Amino acid sequence: MTAAPTSPFPSRIGLDEALAIVRAVAVKCRLGSESLALQRAHGRVLARDLHAVIDQPGFDNSAMDGFALRHADLASEGETVLTLVGEQFAGRALDVEVQPGTCLRITTGAPMPRGADTVVIKENTRVESTSLDGDRVRILQSAKPGQHVRRAGEDVRVGDALLAAGQVLTPSRIALAAGQGQDRLDVVRRPTVAVFTTGDELVEPGLPLQPGQLYNSNRELLMGLLRADGFEPVAWPTLPDDADAVENALRHAGHAFDVVITCGGVSAGEKDHLPALFRRVGDVHFWKVRMKPGMPVLFAGSRPAQGDDDGHGGLGDALFLCLPGNPVSVLATYLALGRSLLDGLQGRGEARLRLRARLQAPLCKTHERLELLRGRLSFGDDGAVHVEPNPADGSHRMRAAADSDALIVLSEGPLDLQAGDPVDVLPY
């Protein structure tokens, strides 16, 4: 099902269709790249493939502290005594050669001396001092040929494809690049995000409440979700339920940020000004998704006002994601749609973790919308993931979200699920 017959834009669409629109718009608006110092690239999306420029390891080296020797010198059974001719520590390659009957003290990571092909660990040896021809080392246990030697290029060869554009730079990937000597990486620019809360009823925590007012909890929720995803969002003071004030603030932010996320004022009430604003001066990509909670979510771009060539009459270049005001709707729509928008703008190629879990209690859903129900994950002794659904499904009930750590995805249409049935979950 797509647009309602009277709607000039998709409305009451399924979550998959909404996600497809979000992804398509994000591809079109994909952000450019920037070169960052490695230290600043953690968590960012790589913009360009990375190929190996050096072998790793760069040279044959010892994996253990001990003695480098020629395997052919070791007795096939019992102990062997070798003459100690020097030491090779990590850091500077000495030009030493291990001749037959001799060995060299070596530390982990130190280059293998010429002639030696095997390392015996210190614990399996005994150094026996003699006065005339230097120390002798008694090898107490034999070793396999090549034991404890790390070969040049065994991990990475020059030219190997190491990292691909679209990958998120995890600590391991940054370390791989560092090991290649890269001090800068090309990453996709991180979207700048403005966060708005709206509503005359909202009061900031710490201030007294008047009758009919409630504390603003969505701002911290959204800021936290965004920060946990690696963004540096900027929060605006709460907007009043006033059409002009809302338009002024969004015009400003729309020219200054890549993405503007609002919450509240997007439904059908007399004070819900956002849908009318975007119909008038924006380009609505969709409004209303058949999901619970989060149904009134609106996604829009901006277009310059007619006849205004330089775009000053429009809402800037930002993309606007307007989340419904109910706190759990904010959580659900951010996880289900907002994150995909921000991932898409950065060309993130790797899908987010989506788990399958077994329900720990039966679930009966009678309504038609897709539902994102709060639940708590656990891991059974059998290694399977389990999820305990939380029966509090009201979109104002934040406590159930705080007691949970995942949203259970219940597909569209009535469902009668039994304990043990597998379901998709979005961990948060």
Ligand X SMILES: Nc1nc2c(c(=O)[nH]1)N[C@H]1C(S)=C(S)[C@@H](COP(=O)(O)OP(=O)(O)OC[C@H]3O[C@@H](n4cnc5c(N)ncnc54)[C@H](O)[C@@H]3O)O[C@H]1N2
Other Cβ atoms less than 10 A from the Cβ of 53: the count is: 13
Partner touching 344 among ligand MOO, ligand X, none, CB below 5 to 8 Å by kind: none
Name the site residues for ligand X (rule: CB under 6 A): 197, 199, 201-202, 214, 216-219, 263-269, 272, 293, 295-296, 324-327, 329, 395
Which partner, ligand MOO, ligand X, none, binds residue 327 by CB below 5 to 8 Å per kind? ligand X
Question: CA 17, CA 290: separation in Å to the nearest integer?
Answer: 10
Please list every residue from 367 through 406 that binds ligand MOO, using CB under 6 A: 395
Which CB atom, from 56 or from 395, has the smaller least distance to ligand MOO? Answer: 395
Residue 292 lies near ligand MOO (rule: CB under 6 A) = yes
Distances (CA, A) of 25 to 29, 252, 255, 318, 347: 6, 22, 18, 12, 12
Using rule CB under 6 A, residue 326 touches ligand MOO: yes
Which residues, in sequence order, are CB contacts of 5 under 8 Å at separation 6+? none
CA distance 414 to 308: 49
CA 115-118-124 angle, 5° bins: 130
In the complex, the smallest distance separating the C-beta of residue 329 from ligand MOO, rounded to whole angstroms, is 3
In terms of CB distance, is 10 or 327 closer to ligand MOO? 327
The minimum distance between CB 321 and ligand X, in angstroms, equals 12
Instruction: Pick the binder of ligand MOO from 106, 202, 295, 363 (CB under 6 A).
Output: 295
Distance CA 421, CA 68 (A): 58
**Minimum distance from residue 231 beta carbon to ligand X (Å):** 19
Counting beta carbons within 10 angstroms of the beta carbon of residue 249, is it exposed (0 to 12), middle (13 to 18) or buried (19 or more)?
A: buried
Label residue 7 exposed, middle or buried (CB < 10 Å: 0-12, 13-18, 19+).
Answer: middle
* Residue 398: CB minimum distance to ligand X, A: 8
Min dist CB 13 to ligand MOO, Å, is: 14
- Cβ contacts of 276 within 8 Å, gap of 6 or more: 243
The least CB distance from residue 413 to ligand X, in Å, is 18
Q: Does 293 bind ligand MOO (CB under 6 A)?
A: yes
Is the Cβ of residue 369 or residue 386 nearer to ligand MOO in the bound state? Answer: 369
CB of 342 to ligand X, least distance (A): 20
Least Å distance, CB 363 to ligand MOO, is 17
Does the protein bind ligand MOO through residue 314 (CB under 6 A)? no
Q: Which of 260, 275, 267 is nearest to 226 (CA)?
A: 260
Q: Which is closer to ligand X, CB of 296 or CB of 301?
A: 296
| Residue 218 binds ligand MOO (CB under 6 A) | no
Residue 263: which of ligand MOO, ligand X, none does it interact with, CB under 5 to 8 A by kind?
ligand X
Residue whose C-beta lies closest to ligand X: 325
Closest separation between CB of residue 351 and ligand X, Å? Answer: 27
- Which of 368, 362, 374, 372 minimizes the C-alpha distance to 404? 374
The dihedrals phi and psi of 39, each to the nearest 5 degrees, come to -60, -25
Q: Contact at 8 Å (CB) between 199 and 264? A: yes
Question: Exposure of 5 by Cβ count < 10 A (0-12 exposed, 13-18 middle, 19+ buried)?
Answer: exposed
Residue 233 interacts with ligand MOO (CB under 6 A): yes or no: no
Among residues 329, 340, 346, 404, the one that binds ligand MOO under rule CB under 6 A: 329
Piece of the chain touching ligand MOO by CB under 6 A; list 131-139, 323-331, 346-354, 360-368:
323-331
Nearer to ligand X, 78 or 394 (CB): 394
Residue 327 interacts with ligand MOO (CB under 6 A)?
no
The answer to whether 55 and 103 are in contact (CB under 8 A) is: no
Nearer to ligand MOO, 13 or 110 (CB): 13
Helical axes 243-256 vs 274-281, angle rounded to 10°: 60
Kindly tell me which of 191 and 293 has the beta carbon lying closer to ligand MOO: 293
**Contact positions toward ligand MOO, by CB under 6 A?**
292-295, 324, 326, 329, 395
